[in-house]
Structure 1
């Protein structure tokens, strides 16, 4: 299974479990449909460092109690934090997916009420993406190559940490994700905990 680091159109978890969302691990080898980018998609075998959609700037935090991310300067979009769990970020991504659905973007209902069909490139879908742009969360800056000059070093440390923790994986070329190198026997819960711990340690300056 391939894990993609922070997808551009759909957010997913890093570990194989319940999107690296993920958000982090939502289910099986994929995350909830979305992203991590500009549109969402249904569950599949791609996962990411985890992200989830949030209410637009000014909206109240979800009733679930998930901590509200900060607002990206000058953009009004929710800025996810490095230490947010899959469950916390998923709440915010679902806010974005729900907005897309309400604006007419096609969904893959067999995969869930907010499983966005990323193959929908209709004028309605494009209008929905534009209308909901302010609700789409931004990945933690530490996990973005554009905003982290040490991204490659941090990503290598992240993959090493996963392996040290018992999740046998290897990084893809360009540090765009990772693949399992053998059969995974780790539980979803343990994988999610390991992923979050390694993400915070590696991208938060705790390695070296």
Structure 2
């Protein structure tokens, strides 16, 4: 989803909080490779809240969870990217290793040093919370919504199969859809499937 690494569309994974991509998703989780035509291949995408995503037109608002910014389904990509950038810069300033070849906001998720752990702890209040609709703990309809989301992706031409636990999806073969179009399809299907379902 931009929470998908549609080249890693998204960033940061939870604990080590890597900014692997809004630098593209995320979902989401997994890395994408592009062919000569700009089509992107991603192995796994996820909507879970531990994987960053850039769904979102309204501004993120502070949450009750230690002041962390709360992203919304309709938050703009620019807004989401800004919060992930602030988080990544905080980690960097506190000594977490970065993967500068991938971009200024790419956190090295293989850094498990004491310094990295301290940085993650120091920056915890800057780690954006994903929209509650994308969290199984806060959305009682998550599994139904996720199945609708995967059906929508397939209906719109991104051929994927959901993982058994609805934590992500894998491609059904190679995709010819470029990264920009994948991001559009992902956002559209996320909004269609998850909007207005939480209680």
Within the alignment, does 1:148 sit opposite 2:106 as a pair? Answer: no
Displacement of 1:33? 4.3
Distance in structure 1 (CA, Å) of the matches to 2:15 and 2:193:
22
> Which secondary structure state, in structure 1, belongs to the residue aligned with residue 130 of structure 2?
coil
TM-score by length of 1: 0.73
- Unaligned segments of structure 1, at least 5 residues: 1-19, 53-65
Alignment of 1:29-40 (within 5 A): 30-36=8-14, 38-40=16-18
Displacement of 1:36? 4.7
Distance in structure 2 (CA, Å) of the matches to 1:152 and 1:38:
26
How many residues were matched structurally? 171
> Which secondary structure state, in structure 2, belongs to the residue aligned with residue 170 of structure 1?
strand
Equivalent residue, structure 2, for 1:63: none
Distance in structure 2 (CA, Å) of the matches to 1:152 and 1:95:
31
> Which secondary structure state, in structure 1, belongs to the residue aligned with residue 169 of structure 2?
strand
Alignment of 1:71-110 (within 5 A): 71-110=62-101
TM-score by length of 2: 0.76
Higher fraction of strand? 2
Equivalent residue, structure 1, for 2:150: 159
Cα distance change on mapping 1:190 and 1:31 into 2, 3 Å? closer
Tell me, yes or no, if the aligned pair for 1:36 and 1:51 is still in contact at 8 Å: no
- Unaligned segments of structure 2, at least 5 residues: 22-29, 32-43
Tell me, yes or no, if the aligned pair for 1:36 and 1:139 is still in contact at 8 Å: no
Cα distance change on mapping 1:74 and 1:183 into 2, 3 Å? closer
Aligned-pair RMSD on alpha carbons? 2.3
Distance in structure 2 (CA, Å) of the matches to 1:119 and 1:189:
28
Distance in structure 1 (CA, Å) of the matches to 2:162 and 2:102:
28
Distance in structure 1 (CA, Å) of the matches to 2:77 and 2:161:
22
Alignment of 1:117-136 (within 5 A): 117-136=108-127
